[in-house]
Structure 1
Amino acid sequence: MAGVSRFGEFSGKPTLSRLALASVVGNVLIVGTGGAVRLTKSGLGCPTWPRCTDESYVATAEMGVHGVIEFGNRLLTFALAAVVIAAVVAAWRQRPARRGLRWLSVGAAFGIPAQAVIGGITVLTDLNPWVVGLHFLASMAVIAAAYAFWRRTLEPDGPARPTVPAPLRALGWLTAGVAAAVLVVGTWVTGSGPHSGDSGAARNGLDPETISQVHADTVFLLLGLSIAAWFAFRAVGAPAGAVRAAGLLVLAELGQGLIGFVQYFTGLPVALVGAHMLGSCLVWLAALAVLWSTRERTAAPAVPPSQAQPEYAGTAH
């Protein structure tokens, strides 16, 4: 039946869920194209913002391939904005109204212009490595907002309840927190390495070997927590979705760790660095999925017709 989610309750038009999922995918693609900009040294392909040059909003032939790559990344932002705006409109037009879903759609949409501004600051500061790192982390925050919005479209509108004991919910939050820390330290590694986005861009001054070791240590901590969550969920008889989410997180981390080690010991080849950036998004989404799996929403109790409030009672005559 159209409009019925896999949870068995009305969750709004399927179009809304598709738009919300498209915003998640689009934000991940933005990270991928942003990585291509940096890895091809096209970070200053458009040397100013919001224009591409002082005279033009679009790349010119004189700017070459670097201008095309940087301008293409900017164009994708506009395409993503169109999807997000459509999702906001769909969420606010839903009947019956779902207030929490509406504000989640706004939160996911707000990240797009915020990211554009940070991207502009990145260009105007000549790819300052700390601002470049902030740009990436802001993408992770937007992905989290978009993911929450998408998952909410799949749920009924009733109250949330835990699916695992409180200590395991805390473990889910801790795992997500460490995953965020891994992302933060990863930007420090990137800021100390050779892929600056432009041959003249500065580096953050941190020792690459030392900060890479710190990054590896946080990854090992995350992997340990994720394995513990998988075993703990199985031990308490958690729903299959929670066990599966924890298992997928472990697999994502192992794959990402393999790419990380290979790229480190092979001199950071561009292709592997790009794959590692996309892998970061997948690990982050998997960590969010584990956190989300520790609770569920049940359908709101139906209000008997005799107790329902009329939308408009009119004026007595």
Structure 2
Amino acid sequence: MNRIVRPVSGILLRRLALASIIANVGIVVTGGAVRLTASGLGCPTWPRCTDDSYVTTPEMGVYGVIEFGNRMLAFAVGLIALATVLAVLLHRPRRPGLLALAVAVFLGIPAQAVIGGITVLTNLNPWVVGLHFLASMAVIAAAYALWRRIGDPDGPTVAVVPAPLRALARVTTGVTVAVLVVGTWVTGSGPHAGDHGAARNGLDPETISQVHADGVFLLIGLSVALIFAFRAVGAQRATRAAIVLVAVELGQGLIGFVQYFTHVPAILVGAHMLGSCLVLLAALSVQWSTRERRPVTPAADVAATNAADPVPVTA
């Protein structure tokens, strides 16, 4: 007897994509908790937790529970990503590009697990730990793109701001990524190694922190410039996105300065990691706001609409 499989609604699909964003941000925060509680080697090997067990043992204490719990959370994140892939396959009509993004997010989860395993096998090498964080940022970016694409109508992509402002938005996104990268270098030079015996990257904490701060100042300056530029051309949605970006950056910058001058307390480092995810999402929101997809116009209305529409651009 054949079963009729009902198509997945766009609302459910978008909720799954949003859940994927939240789950991946959550894994960043809990991963930070592993490092900040010195539980990075709570499970001293990988893929097993010990040489003889895949799960934590009572002898490993709370550190083993924290590290193993973070590993288990990765499975939950993977299940959400898998559910999103299946939902995309069942969604009708089939939307171009959605499946590729959903698969990218799903494959990012095991890739993250492998990188996490390498961090354990290399005794929390700070460069590998930094790569682990940046890989999470890449997965979050893909999940955000999926969420936004699901919410867009099918149709051509059009620019809503002039080309120079789109370029400025891309530069701002690039500086955001650079600030995140340098931020991992700052973390790798600081006191929170994830384990009392883990090495640091050898960079001078004060020098690399100043480089990071300079990058933040540049980023805030570019973001403020975007607010005035978008407002000048009447791009209201882009202006709002830029205002949110500046607000998130200022909050993140405040946390960064307070943690630096209070000798990097663990609670503020955790808040700073959450803030890094929010800065990335806000920067991507600005980038997304510089263009939009328009619904396909009926043939009878094409001639009348073309004169008023912005020039289409490639996505």
Alignment of 1:130-209 (within 5 A): 130-209=127-206
> Which runs of structure 1 show a deviation greater than 2 angstroms over 4 or more consecutive aligned residues?
300-304
2:214 is the counterpart of 1:217:
yes
- The Cα offsets for residues 150-180 of structure 1, whole Å up to 9 and x where unpaired, read as 1111111111111111111111111100000
Equivalent residue in structure 2 for 1:236, among 228, 233, 240: 233
Please state how far the C-alpha of 1:303 moved relative to its aligned partner. 8.2
| AA partner of residue 15 (structure 1) | L
Equivalent residue, structure 2, for 1:56: 53
Q: CA deviation at 1:301?
A: 4.1
- Unaligned residue ranges in structure 1 (runs of 5+): 1-10, 305-317
* TM-fit CA distance, 1:300: 2.6
- 1:289 and 1:237 mapped to 2: Cα distance? 17
Structure 1 residue 97: Cα displacement: 1.2
1:30 and 1:96 map into 2 onto residues whose CA distance is 32
TM-score, normalised to structure 1, is: 0.91
2:304 is matched with: none
Aligned mates of 2:298, 2:69 — CA distance in 1: 49
Which amino acid letter does the alignment assign opposite residue 168 of structure 2? L
1:265 aligned partner, one-letter code = F
Name the structure 2 match of 1:297. 293
Helix, strand or coil for the counterpart of 1:296? strand
Do the aligned partners of residues 302 and 84 (structure 1) sit closer, same or farther apart at CA in structure 2, a change above 3 Å counting?
Answer: farther
What amino acid is aligned across from residue 119 of structure 1 in structure 2? Answer: G
Please point out which of 19, 25, 29 is paired with 2:26: 29
Please, which moves more after superposition, 196-205 or 96-105?
96-105
Q: Single out whichever of 93-102 and 110-119 deviates more from structure 2.
A: 93-102
SS at match of 2:92: coil
Q: What is the letter of the counterpart of residue 29 of structure 1?
A: G
The CA distance in 2 between the partners of 1:228 and 1:126, in whole Å, is 43
Q: Please report how far the alpha carbon of residue 231 of structure 1 lies from its aligned counterpart in structure 2 after TM superposition.
A: 0.8
RMSD (Å), alpha carbons: 1.3
Q: Percent identity?
A: 72
- Partners of 1:295 and 1:286 lie apart in 2 by 15
Unpaired stretches in structure 2, ≥5 consecutive residues: 1-7, 301-315
Q: Return the TM-score normalized by structure 2.
A: 0.91
Question: How many pairs align?
Answer: 293
Secondary structure in structure 1 of the residue aligned to 2:292: strand
CA deviation vs aligned residue, 1:246-289 (integer Å, no higher than 9, x gap): 00000000000000000000000010111011001101100000
Amino acid in the other structure paired with 1:262: V
Task: Within 5 Å, give how 1:273-312 maps onto structure 2.
Answer: 273-301=269-297
Residue pair 1:12, 1:153 contacting (<8 A) in 2 also: no
Return the alpha-carbon distance in structure 2 between the equivalents of residues 302 and 82 of structure 1: 40
